[in-house]
Structure 1
Amino acid sequence: MKVTRTRARLSDGREILYFDEAPGRTPVPDPRGLPPVQPLCEVRRDPLTGDPVTVTAHRNARTFLPPSDQCPLCPGGPASEIPDAAYDVAVFENRFPSFDARTPGVPPVVDGAPVLRRARGAGRCEVVSFTDDHAASMALLPVSRVRTVIETWADRTAELSALPGVEQVYVFENRGVEIGVTLHHPHGQIYGYPFVTPRTGRMLAMAARHRASGGELFADVLAAERAGARVVTSGEHWTAFVPAAARWPVELHLMPHRHVPDLVALTAPERDELAVLYRDLLRRCDALHGAPLPYVAGWHQAPVGEGRDLVRLHLELFSVRRAADKLKYLAGSESGMAAWINDVPPEDIAARLR
């Protein structure tokens, strides 16, 4: 699929890119005259677990559920981050980033204590607007546009992975006020982390242990799920299933049949089928309770420099909605000890999604 990429700059120096299904774009200058971005991002390490915690005081002032006429993703409006009058897919550097290469340096420890380590939060955060239609959703887009979004994800994964200091790239979408979105316009985000995330670190450890015993973890998990009762749908290149140990009342994994470390490594046929299956899954999710399902959909990709033969690309989609009129709130055991309890049997939700 041929997608035309066009680069430009916003008035504060941040980069914006357009991904168009037809060539010929001449970007419109940003008229807002914004001051330069001055991010303050730092990463502190929990000395008891080793987990990173990012501190970003400037994000407390980010845009929160503006009225539709002040939407920063609608094209050409007075508050728009996207100056052009129309677009297919647009990507720009987040105005309120969690990680940014322009953030200043910080002392290597907190309060002078060597056990309390910290570092500057370098990296990059981008916003991906899937369409210029404020009232749309990924599930309602034509397959051709979903395919353009996939090309955009792969392009940005490749470029962010090449940035100095970026160790992992995470592509994700949050949808629904129940999830905590701050904008209603259909969009997602991309994080270029300056560290390997805790979740991926655990996957790496489990995959290495499994290989030492003679197996390939993701291949074996996929084979077991394809033989079980939790497959929702599948194609030539992909299978979607509810995992046997699902944490959330609605949880779906979408995994390619061959080992690929990231979106960049997908072939054209794999991307074509992904566009069809991904939209189908989102429509099934919206049909579950007869209303748009709040969800997080995130692409787990291998780190940039390690474990690329161990971690297989896969999508994890989950929702906090446990019934048509009920939400799942994390119990003390879950939020305090990360010991999950699921009230909905995975086999039941798989059958309903089928």
Structure 2
Amino acid sequence: MAELRWNPMLKDWVMVASNRQDRPQMPKDWCPFCPGSGKVPDTYDVQEYDNDFPALSKEPSIPDSVGSEFYRTKEAYGKCEVILYSPEHTKTLSELPLPHVRKLVDLWCERFIELSKDSKVKYIFEFENRGAEVGVTMPHPHGQIYAYSEMPLKIKTELDSCREYYEENNECLICKMNKEEIEFKKRIVMENEDFLAYLPF
């Protein structure tokens, strides 16, 4: 069962997905994400794969009868996709050649655009978990895309802050933060003509 539960203290919806505890541990000598498994094409560069144990679904189940008028629940509508970086079982993202990474970025963009067409989807999150310590059951290098029916509180707060800062200062908040970091220099991890990555103040 997967559902959304209302947190009255944070005023946010929390995803509860008890169905994901039933995910199997894969045999050491077989991987569903490798060509020849029967689960993915025999040849691919990058590949979208619908999650077998999704926390969000286009046809969500009815929530468990554990809620109340105070502790509200609702269906966990959305979509969970797995993005396979490569057919090579041990090659991580940082080890892929640049033209291959470009194919991966193009797939992320393609899936983002497609998932955005659903009017019920309010936020799309692309991410990677790695290692058994965080619950990853598949060692084959991959990331995920979650399409949420509710915008997470942290994201909503950040957008509200950007709007308020602009209204008060007639200046973009992100641009101001970037300017501060460029002037300070010491928190910058990487900078090029397209990106600026830094540790938060």
Aligned counterpart, 1:187: 142
Q: Secondary structure at the match of 1:114?
A: coil
Shift in Å, 1:106 = 4.2
Aligned length: 199
Aligned counterpart, 2:194: 237
Q: Secondary structure at the match of 1:81?
A: coil
Residues 59 and 178 (structure 1), Cα distance of their counterparts in 2 relative to 1, 3 Å cut:
closer
Distance 1:151 1:47 in 2: 39
Q: Secondary structure at the match of 1:221?
A: helix
Aligned counterpart, 1:308: none
Shift in Å, 1:162 = 1.1
Aligned counterpart, 1:76: 36
Check the 8 A contact 2:84/2:142 in 1, yes or no: yes
Q: Does 1:200 align with 2:155?
A: yes
Residues 144 and 68 (structure 1), Cα distance of their counterparts in 2 relative to 1, 3 Å cut:
farther
Q: Which amino acid aligns with 2:71?
A: L
Percent of aligned pairs with the same amino acid? 32
Shift in Å, 1:179 = 3.6
Distance 2:66 2:19 in 1: 19
Matches within 5 A, 1:83-98: 84-98=41-55
Q: Secondary structure at the match of 2:71?
A: strand
Shift in Å, 1:68 = 4.1
Aligned counterpart, 2:182: 226
Check the 8 A contact 2:57/2:76 in 1, yes or no: yes
Distance 2:114 2:4 in 1: 22
Shift in Å, 1:71 = 1.2
Q: Secondary structure at the match of 1:115?
A: coil
Shift in Å, 1:189 = 0.2
Q: Which amino acid aligns with 2:125?
A: Y
Check the 8 A contact 1:43/1:120 in 2, yes or no: yes
Distance 1:217 1:182 in 2: 39
More divergent stretch after superposition (234-243 vs 137-146): 234-243
Q: Secondary structure at the match of 2:189?
A: strand
Check the 8 A contact 2:5/2:16 in 1, yes or no: yes
Check the 8 A contact 2:3/2:63 in 1, yes or no: yes
Check the 8 A contact 1:46/1:53 in 2, yes or no: yes
Q: Which amino acid aligns with 2:34?
A: C
Aligned counterpart, 2:75: 120
Tell me which of the two structures has the higher relative contact order, counting C-alpha pairs closer than 8 angstroms and 6 or more residues apart.
Answer: 2
Check the 8 A contact 2:44/2:87 in 1, yes or no: yes
Distance 2:137 2:182 in 1: 37
Deviation sequence 1:3-51 (CA, Å, 0-9, x none)? xxxxxxxxxxxxxxxxxxxxxxxxxxxxxxxxxxxxx421110122212
Q: Which amino acid aligns with 1:212?
A: E
Distance 1:233 1:118 in 2: 42
Deviation sequence 1:166-197 (CA, Å, 0-9, x none)? 11000011123344322111100000001001
Matches within 5 A, 1:1-354: 40-64=1-25, 66-77=26-37, 80-82=38-40, 84-106=41-63, 110-111=66-67, 113-214=68-169, 215-228=171-184, 229-244=186-201
Distance 2:86 2:134 in 1: 21
Distance 2:117 2:24 in 1: 29
Aligned counterpart, 1:16: none
Check the 8 A contact 2:2/2:63 in 1, yes or no: no
Give the structure-1-normalised TM-score: 0.53
Shift in Å, 1:213 = 2.0
Distance 2:182 2:24 in 1: 43
Q: Which amino acid aligns with 2:174?
A: F
RMSD, matched Cα: 1.8
Q: Which amino acid aligns with 1:43?
A: L
Q: Secondary structure at the match of 1:219?
A: helix
Check the 8 A contact 2:126/2:145 in 1, yes or no: yes
Q: Which amino acid aligns with 1:81?
A: K
Q: Which runs of 5+ in 2 are unaligned?
A: none
Distance 2:179 2:71 in 1: 43
Q: Which amino acid aligns with 1:238?
A: F
Q: Which runs of 5+ in 1 are unaligned?
A: 1-39, 245-354
Residues 104 and 233 (structure 1), Cα distance of their counterparts in 2 relative to 1, 3 Å cut:
closer
Q: Secondary structure at the match of 2:82?
A: strand
